[in-house]
Amino acid sequence: MNEVTLNNEVKIPQIALGLWKVKDEKELEGAVLEALEAGYRHFDSAQIYGNEAMLGKALKKSGAARGELFITTKLWNDNQWSGDVIPSFEESLKNLQSEYVDLFLVHFPVTETRKMAWVQMEEIYKSGKAKAIGVSNYTIKHLEGLLSWCEVKPAVNQVELHVFLQQPQLLDFCQKHGIVVEAYSPLAHGKGLDNPVLAKIAKAYGKSPAQIMIRWCVERGLVVLPKSTTPERIRENIDVFDFALTLEEMKEIEGLESDLRTCWDPTNVA
């Protein structure tokens, strides 16, 4: 599995199993065990997903060594108040049956509370209980605000990003500031998998359109978080390291940009 290096030298596996909307314990356990067998080591959860405890249990059951795993979780909006961040984080650790997380993210740039939340995130980072901290759903404006005063720079910004929502300015900005971008919903929730450009490129490599979407993210240096609980798809989504897109194909895919948001749009959040 390819790894990307964060701004504090922590290494992050480039493809993770996304766990958004996975609420059934058996289904989650099946997906995690399948993913581990397929070579995944990186699992992306969040307090609001309600599945941290299921993930902790599944990982324990797998017998995988903690040091081999990369676990991300995210601070939910209601827990961004100063006094709530650390207790909610401790609860996450308990759920995950772990002494630490590899990456802890502020889930959304809530206007009133995101600044006080980050101060507490920095404390957690300094305690060593989060190996890296970052944000999610931040636009350039939100990042500029944070970078103007923070002590610990965010290592990651996790945003919706796929071939139909390419976010080139945000990518440039993050690259310039040493922030790794993680692409959530890299398959646009399955929308556009029948796109003829993707189908043509997929055919040329004997791959699926989903694999082309994921490979495009890999080639842009992103960490990619496809969600699936289907065994064949879990395997398919990580099987993208044996081919490379040409410059011409990357250009063709650039033409698919259509500002398609399948999730939150933080653009107008003050």
Residue positions annotated with a catalytic role: 49
Residue type, 251: K
Residue type, 124: I
Cβ of residue 34: shortest distance to ligand A2P, in angstroms?
11
- CB-nearer residue toward ligand A2P: 160 or 249: 160
Cβ of residue 186: shortest distance to ligand A2P, in angstroms?
5
- CB-nearer residue toward ligand A2P: 103 or 188: 188
- CB-nearer residue toward ligand A2P: 19 or 179: 19
The beta-carbon contacts of 93-98 under 8 Å, at least 24 apart in sequence, are 93/129, 95/52, 95/53, 95/55, 95/56, 96/45, 96/52, 96/53, 96/55, 96/56, 96/59, 96/71, 97/56, 97/57, 97/59, 97/60, 98/56, 98/66, 98/71
- CB-nearer residue toward ligand A2P: 53 or 260: 260
C-beta separation of 180 from 219 below 8 A: no
Cβ of residue 19: shortest distance to ligand A2P, in angstroms?
10
206: alpha, beta or left? (left if phi > 0; alpha if psi -120 to 50): left
Cβ of residue 188: shortest distance to ligand A2P, in angstroms?
5
Neighbours of 262 (CB within 10 A): 16
CA angle 261, 266, 270 (to 5 degrees): 155
Gap between the Cα atoms of 70 and 20, Å rounded: 17
- CB-nearer residue toward ligand A2P: 137 or 228: 228
**What does 194-223 look like in DSSP terms, one character per residue?**
T-HHHHHHHHHHT--HHHHHHHHHHHTT-E
C-beta separation of 43 from 57 below 8 A: no
Residues making contact with ligand A2P (CB under 6 A): 18, 185-190, 193, 208, 210, 226-230, 233, 236-237
Cβ of residue 121: shortest distance to ligand A2P, in angstroms?
25
Q: Single out the residue of 131, 125, 138, 193 nearest to residue 163, CA to CA.
A: 193
- CB-nearer residue toward ligand A2P: 41 or 233: 233
Cβ of residue 94: shortest distance to ligand A2P, in angstroms?
27
Residue where the block lists tokens 């496809």: 226
